[in-house]
Amino acid sequence: MNDDVSVKNKKLGQKLAIAAIAMFGFGYALVPLYDVLCEWKWIERDRPDAIKAIPETAYTVDVNRNVNVEFMTSLNENTPMVFSSEMPQLQVHPGEYHTVNFYAENKTNKTMVARAIPSFSPALTSTYFEKVECFCFSEQTFAPHEKKTMPMRFVVNPALPADYKTITLSYTFFDNTETAVKK
Amino acid sequence: MSAVTAEHGHDDHHDDHAHGPEKGWLRWIITTNHKDIGTLYLLFALAMFFVGGAMAMVIRAELFEPGMQFVDPKFFNSMTTMHALVMVFGAVMPAFVGLANWMIPMMIGAPDMALPRMNNMSFWLLVSGVLLLASTLFMEGGAPAGGWTLYPPLVLQTGKALPFAIFSVHLLGISSILGAINIVATILNMRAPAMPLMKMPMFVWTWLITGFLLIAIMPVFAGAVTMLLTDKFFHTSFFDAAGGGDPVLYQHIFWFFGHPEVYVMILPTFGVASTIIPVFARKPLFGYSSMVYATASIAFLSFIVWAHHMFTVGMPIAGELYFMYATMLIAIPTGVKVFNWTATMWKGAMTFETPMLFSIAFVVLFTLGGFTGLMMSVAPVDFQYHDTYFIVAHFHYTLVPASVFILMAAGYFWLPKWTGHMYNEKIGQLHFWLSTISVNILFFPQHFLGLAGMPRRIPDYAIQFADWNMISSIGGFIFGASQLLFLWIVIDTIKGGTGEKVTDEVWEDAHKHGLEWTLPSPVPYHTFSTPPTVIPCDHN
């Protein structure tokens, strides 16, 4: 191989390597890009609107329609808690306010900081599910072995498209004690 | 040039005169010769094909009957995950890199790859990566078991193996990137002056495009798994909902890599098919330039269709529609290719040696896999097919009787050139028929299972799925056993084969189709130290 070609090869190799490194950066750039696309509603996402309190407004109750709201409770891996809801499901009329209690217990001898994250299925219903009061709006601090009863007050906006007859609301508790201490 | 013996066994690598390979085993460690490295890649891929195949046998044995028979569910899940990772990153991709190493310099009239030392490094990084991955099988908590896509939060529950699996992906990624850089540099810089881009063989074209794909996507995958690593050990929250992250983001990043990745495995397949079919049809390749543009279009489209893997994730309707129509577009350039291969065979003076048989089976069965892909591109029906055995059947049709069959075809096609010996045609044809029949017994019933609702990645199933699973498993065992014939043929051919002396062109009039057939058989250690001036042109 003559030296000219060898130099050319090295130069091209370097350019391609730079392209590869740039693509590594591009992978990370997808993270903020994703947030932007979610904000523009190009990608549907539950949070953060779903975690915001919405002031109680009086809607006309649509008594002719029933929406079945299902409640699911789960714990993230290794979260030492007990977590359940008062009832597995509830029939509601759109526009009608309801309060459902959730129970959580810290199973450890230490103070624990935990955060419940909601998720809706179908995801598109999250915009119509308005919460006045919820334990998921902020981190919850649990004293050792503390049991808490946490009410969640909500309304299904009557604007919910008629196609949706069931909304599944799932809460997952995450143990944030370690991250909370670092802050 | 043809009389290359080991008489100049000196160590001076700066010496451009023809000298033989290094003596002894050290040759295979320190070699920078493209043919040696190609051989290493191909043998390594063959070994991994059997390792990944053994894992598939465990899967099919467990699924032979409903209920738990042989392994526990955790290990079963490790097997599905590791089977995929080993086959993708250990077998199919390295096999095509091996072919690229062996064939591209010979096809374009270059003396070696552009960056020979980096070439050696890519290979040994690959071996390290695969060994690291294999070591996770013996770790506390077992090998990764959350599927090859490594979706969080499930994958974060992997035991001690998680960081090792992630570092192994890093090593495999770096190896692929270096390999791709080398191949692109070779093709762009090292062609014989008499070979313009539009006269390159199709295999070279497909690899040029695949090389760019790899450079673009492997770093993105490396980034995604690095985010998993920092989420798990350094309290970042890329995919952790508690910290404001979103697991769905991982799926977007993964499939931005993942969809082009599946084309990394299929584009070189197209290239080899476009090389073999004209030789046995005794006609030039039909529609060469449309083949080039179709390959480039498929590569471009692969970057803008990724979310069709995620139709059920909860996208707005506009997103579903966009990804649905964009995906359907891929059928157009792919159809162009299938019609071109068919037209190449049309009225050709065809003969049916083993490489041609495998290539024809590829055209038929790949098309079948393509059709099921088109079915799944329809977003509303994908909700039924998603994560069932239907998708398993689909991608196995595009990978096994497509990529793997074409790799077999390539083996039969070029082994006589590489070794100077002829393989046993009878055993070759037996291997072909057993493989083709059993691969359909293995994968075709999986369409039915999927449509009936059997989920993928489960060790046990409802009894209504029992019959087709048993048939599929029987097909799997026959297919697995048949591949031992291929192993026998490779060893036998290297050792002397039928004893028949092969000619330089091996196949009748092959010298009209590619530069590699103008070289002596077996190919000398160094070739094209001076670039050829006459380029056989397989088209126009």
Give the model confidence (pLDDT) of B24-69 as tens digits: 888 899 999 999 999 999 999 999 999 999 999 999 999 999 999 9
Q: Which residues of B touch A23 (CB under 8 A)?
A: 215-220
Q: Choose, out of A3, A15, A16, the residue to mutate when testing the contact with B (most B CBs < 10 Å).
A: A16
Catalytic site positions of B: 83, 112, 148, 175-176, 259, 261, 263, 274, 308-309, 334, 337, 456
Average pLDDT value for residue range A22-32: 94
The total of other beta-carbon atoms located within 10 Å of residue B321's CB is 12
Measure in Å the smallest separation between the Cα of A55 and chain B Cα atoms. 23
What mean pLDDT comes out for the span A70-81?
88
Asked if the model's pLDDT at residue A46 lies above 50, the reply is yes
**Rounded mean pLDDT of B361-385?**
95
Contact A24 B215 (CB under 8 A): no
B92 and chain A: CB distance < 8 Å anywhere?
Answer: no
Report the residue of chain A nearest B186, measured CA to CA.
Answer: A9
pLDDT of the residue at B13: 45
Shortest distance, CA B149 to any CA of chain A (angstroms): 16
Evaluate whether A43 touches B316 at the Cβ level (below 8 Å): yes
End-to-end CA distance of chain B: 31
- Domains, chain B, in order of start with CATH, read 36-518 (1.20.210.10)
B180, containing H or E segment: helix B161-189
- Letter for the amino acid at B176? S
Residue B414: how many other CB atoms lie within 10 Å: 24
Give chain B positions within 8 Å (CB) of A10: 115
Q: How far is CA B227 from CA B143, B154, B166, B240, in A?
A: 20, 14, 10, 10
Bridge partner residues of A173 (DSSP): A75, A116
pLDDT digits (tens, 9 = 90+) for B503-525: 999 998 888 898 999 999 899 99
Residue B8 has pLDDT above 70, yes or no: no
B139-158 per-position pLDDT tens digit: 998 999 999 999 998 998 89
Tens of pLDDT, residue by residue over B328-360, are 999 999 999 999 999 999 999 999 999 999 999
Sheet holding A147-156, edge to edge: A81-85, A97-106, A147-156, A129-133
Judge whether B240 is closer than 8 Å to chain A, CB to CB.
yes
Residue B245, token pair as written in the block = 């992250």
- The reply to whether B21 touches chain A by the CB within 8 Å rule is no
Residue (of B264, B435, B447) closest to B360 by Cα position: B435
Neighbours of B446 (CB within 10 A): 25
- The verdict on a CB contact (< 8 Å) between A20 and B185 is no
Residues 6+ away with beta carbon under 8 Å from A85: A71, A72, A73, A100, A101, A102, A103, A171
Task: Decide the pairing of beta strands A166-175 and A67-75.
Answer: parallel
Q: Which residues of A touch B151 (CB under 8 A)?
A: none
Mean pLDDT of A48-76: 83
Q: State the smallest CA–CA distance between residue A83 and chain B in angstroms.
A: 16
> Residue B136 half-sphere exposure, CB side, CA atoms within 13 Å?
28
Smallest Cβ–Cβ distance between A44 and the set B181, B256, B316 belongs to B316
In the predicted model, what is the mean pLDDT of residues B171-181?
Answer: 96
State the average pLDDT for chain B: 92
Count, in order, helices (H) and strands (E) of chain A: 2, 9
The answer to whether the Cβ–Cβ distance between A45 and B316 falls below 8 Å is no
pLDDT score at B5: 42
- pTM tops 0.90, yes or no: no
How big is chain A, counted in residues?
183
